[in-house]
Structure 1
Amino acid sequence: MGINHWPEGERPREKLLVMGPQALSDAELLAIFLRVGVAGRSAVDLARDLLAAFGGLRQLLEADQARFCAEHGLGTAKFAQLQATLELSRRHLASQLARGNALTSPALVRHYLSSQMRHLDHEEFAVLFLDTQHRIIRYESLFRGTLDSASVYPREVAKRALELGAGAVILAHNHPSGVAEPSDADRRITDRLSQALALFDVRILDHFVVGDGEVISFAERGWL
C-alpha cells in the first residue's frame, strides 16, 4: 500500500507538520527526502532498506558519490540534492554563530565544528577567529594531515590571527579514528600555540577535539 493510502497521522510529511521533525524516526525523515519509493516499496520501506544497507543514517549521509549512487532508488540527482541540503545546514549553523557571542553558545559551537569535521577521513586543524567581543570573524581549516597526524605551525596561526584582526581564537581538530580523547601531542601543540599567540595578545578560548559523536573541550577539562 502506498503512503497516500496510509492514515493521515502516520504519513511522514503530515506527521512532521503536526508534531515537528523531532517526532519522526530516521526512516520517516529519509522518506520525506526521497519523496517516492520504488516498485513494490513505499518511500518509508525504501528508507528502511537504505539505512540497513549503509549501516545507519550517518553512514548514508557521509557516503561518497559512488557508494551512494550504487544503491537502488538513489542516483546522482539525489546525491546532489543531499549535498546541497547538508551544506545549507552547515551554513545555517555558521550564520547562527556569526550573529552572537561564541562563548554564550558552546553547544552551537560544538555542533558546528562537528558538522565541519566529523566526516573527514584525514586529520585537519581548524581555527575559529573571533573579534575582541568574541564574535565570529571566520572559520578556516589551516592544516591537513594524514589519518593520524597533522603538522601545526604556531607562526602561521599567529600570522593569520593578525591578518584578520582577531582578539581570540577557538582551536579545533578531528580524530579520524573516531576517538575524541586528546593525546599528549594535542596538549603540547595547544601549549605552544598559547605561548605564540599570547605574544600578540590573542587568547585561546578553547580547543575542541572532534570524534565520532563526541566533542571534547580543553577548557572544560581545565587545560586552558
Structure 2
Amino acid sequence: MLAGFIPCQAEDAVAHQLLRPLFDDERETLLLAGFDAFERLVRIERADGDATGRCLIPPRCWRSLLGGGIAAVLMAHNHPSGAAWPSDADIRTTHEAALFLRTMGIDLIDHLIFVAGGHFSFRTAEMM
C-alpha cells in the first residue's frame, strides 16, 4: 500500500460524504473547498478537466473562493485511471498552490487524489 493512501472504508466524513460524490468516474475533476477560521465549509469551487483530461485551476475559481473570508483550502481531484499516486504535474500544482495561498495568509491543508478504492493524501504522505 502507498504511503498516504487511505482506503474508502477509512475515509473521514468530509472525504467520503462530501467530496467523493462530486467526482465523475469518466472525467478528471478538481475541487477547491474553502473553510473559515472556525473550520466551517464556506464554498466549493469545481473545475472539470479539458479534452486532454487535465484539470487547470481557472482564475474564476480562485476569485470566487478567496473573496469570502477563507482561512484554509482543501484541494481534491480524481484520477479516473485508478492510479492513486500523484503525477509530477500534481506535485508541482500542489506546491504552487500552497505558495500562492501562503502569500495571502491562507493554508493549503491538503490535496487529495480520489480513486475508486480510496484516496491519496499529500499531507498523510508528508509531501506538503
Decide which structure has greater helix share.
1
Q: Which runs of 4+ in 1 moved over 4 A?
A: none
* Structure possessing the higher radius of gyration over alpha carbons: 1
Amino acid at match of 2:109: L
Structure 2 unaligned runs (5+)? 1-10
Q: Establish whether residue 123 from structure 1 lines up as the match of residue 28 from structure 2.
A: yes
> SS of 1:161's equivalent?
helix
Structure 1 unaligned runs (5+)? 1-105
Q: Establish whether residue 201 from structure 1 lines up as the match of residue 105 from structure 2.
A: yes
Q: TM-score, normalised on structure 2?
A: 0.80
Q: Establish whether residue 168 from structure 1 lines up as the match of residue 72 from structure 2.
A: yes
Q: Return the offset for 1:140.
A: 2.1
Contact 1:122 1:146 in 2 (8 A): no
Higher relative contact order (CA 8 A, sep 6+): 2
Q: Please give the per-residue CA displacement for 1:102-149, whole angstroms capped at 9, x wherever unaligned.
A: xxxx611220222211x4311111111100122111222134334631
Q: TM-score, normalised on structure 1?
A: 0.48
Taking the aligned partners of 1:214 and 1:208, their CA distance within structure 2 comes to 10
> SS of 1:221's equivalent?
coil
For 2:19, which of 108, 113, 131 is the aligned residue? Answer: 113
Taking the aligned partners of 1:189 and 1:205, their CA distance within structure 2 comes to 14
Decide which structure has greater strand share.
2
